[in-house]
Every structure is written in structure tokens, then in C-alpha cells.
Amino acid sequence: MGGNKVKVVILAGGYGTRLAENSNSIPKPMVAIGGKPILWHIMNYYSSWGFTEFILALGYKAEVIKSYFKEQNLTKLNFDIYSEVSEIIYRQDSLQDWNIKFVDTGLDTMTGGRILKLKEVLKDQAFMLTYGDGLGNVNIKELLQFHTSHNKSVSVTAVHPPARFGELSLDGNTVVGFQEKPQLQDSWINGGFFVMEPDFLNFIPNLETMLEGEPLQAAVKSGQLMAFPHEGFWLGMDTKRDHERLEKLYKEGAPWLHH
């Protein structure tokens, strides 16, 4: 697993969102928490574990994301040999150097297809992958060790779903139990923070493929998908309420800024 040179792929190409107080739709990874895009927070988290080689799979309003990093404090900007890829070496005093490759993976490409488009950039090496709209204090070092230990194609970080709604227990039409914030501790969901071997790309037939559909289902069928359970903090930013919660958590010390 080549040490900290393992590349981190972030899916940041989906359509826009009005989660933020913007009149125009912006790419969801650019929604700010504490004044910085959630995408920056995700990258900062990986960087805190020593992983600073990023590949951003872009699509919708790719220029907005590129511009953000171009406007930051950087010392080198170059376009490399891939026609769809631009690369930034991004330096910031408080951080290690970030090496960021931007790959325009198309506007309507699905999540699996975006990974397929990165084949040339990934160069047949294992890589980490996550979504551009979820934060967690996942132990990246243990995740990688777990992945290396089982010799399968994919590891997915399993998390408990955040309690969103009051849960009713019914007996016929009679409510026999009510929990305002149910603890769904017995169920697990896909929390992102994957580690993938290059052969996983063989499970992705075309650009119209959703990662969560055929590829992961095929990995399950062939016994190639392993779950890394994470009991700590995790939150996907799907609703305005999620965004408000992340802002509040940021002000309280941001559990994803430390490990």
C-alpha cells in the first residue's frame, strides 16, 4: 500500500445544491462550513493523517471548484499530460503540501462512471475514495491496515445512520413507543471512506453506472466487499438541517478536525 502516497479520490461532480444561502445553485462540495467548503474540510482531514495526494472527480460547475483552489495560497500550477486533468500543488503554512489533480469526469457521468474515467490517473494502484459531502473522524490508518489485512478488492466504512426523525413503535394504530432521537445502533449504512484495489474498476461497466449499484453489488456477490465499522462521528450533508448541524459542530470544535 505504498505508504502515504496512496491517492485520495473525492467524488465532487454531482449536480448543485441550494443547501447554502445562495441564490444560484453551487456544487455541493463547495457549501461552506465555518467559512471553508466541506470539500476543504474532507481534504484537510485526510491531510491530517498524512495523505496529501488528491484526485477530484469533477462535473457540475467544475470551474467553481478549480477556481477556489487557484485563489488559495499556492506556489505552483501546472497542466499535465492528461487532456482532462489539471494539477495544483497547493501549499499552506499550517498544512503539508497538497497535490491536487482535477479531472473533469463529465456532467452526467454517474458515480461509478466517474471512477472509471480516472483509470489513467490511478495508474493501477490502490486508492482511497470518498464523497464530497460527508465528514467523519474515521481512523484512516486503521482503515488502511484493515484493507491490507483481508486482500479483497474493496473496503467500505460502515457507519450508523444519524437519527433524523422521531421513531414510532406501533401496535396496530396505537403508539406503544416514541423516541425523539432513536439510536439506530443495530443498523449500518455506507459512510464512504472506501479503499479500493485497481481491479475494482472491472466491476464498473460504463459511465452510466452508479457506484452504489452494479459495482458494489457485484463486489458483494464475489465476496470482495469488506466493512470497516466506524462507531465515531459521521454525518452526510443531505439536508439544510445537516448543514446547520455541521456549522454548530464546527463552532463547538469540529470533531472532524482532530483525531
Domain locations along the chain:
3-159+188-257
- Mean pLDDT of the chain, nearest integer: 85
Q: Confidence class of residue 225 from pLDDT cuts 50, 70 and 90? A: very high
CB 125 within 8 A of CB 218: no
Return phi, psi of residue 31, to 5°. -65, 130
Q: Confidence class of residue 19 from pLDDT cuts 50, 70 and 90? A: confident
- Rounded Cα distance between 111 and 59, Å, is 10
- Rounded Cα distance between 253 and 236, Å, is 18
Return phi, psi of residue 141, to 5°. -65, -45
- Rounded Cα distance between 235 and 133, Å, is 9
pTM of the model: 0.86
- Rounded Cα distance between 250 and 96, Å, is 22
In this structure, the strands spanning 154-159 and 194-196 are antiparallel
Those residues whose C-beta lies under 8 Å from the C-beta of residue 160, and which sit 6 or more positions away, are 183, 184, 185, 187, 188, 189, 231, 234
Within a 13 Å sphere around the CA of 95, how many CA atoms are in the beta-carbon half?
24
**Amino acid type, 167:** E
The most distant pair of C-alpha atoms in the chain lies apart, rounded to whole Å, by 66
95 or 39, higher pLDDT: 39
Return phi, psi of residue 218, to 5°. -65, -40
pLDDT tens, position by position, 33-58 = 999 999 999 999 999 999 999 999 99
Model pLDDT, residue 255: 87
**Set of cell numbers at residue 60:** 457540475
CATH 3.90.550.10, domain 3-159+188-257, yes or no: yes
b vs e for 139-175, b when ≥16 Cβ sit within 10 Å of the residue's Cβ?
A: bbeebbebbeeeebbbbbbbbbebeeeeeeeeeeeee
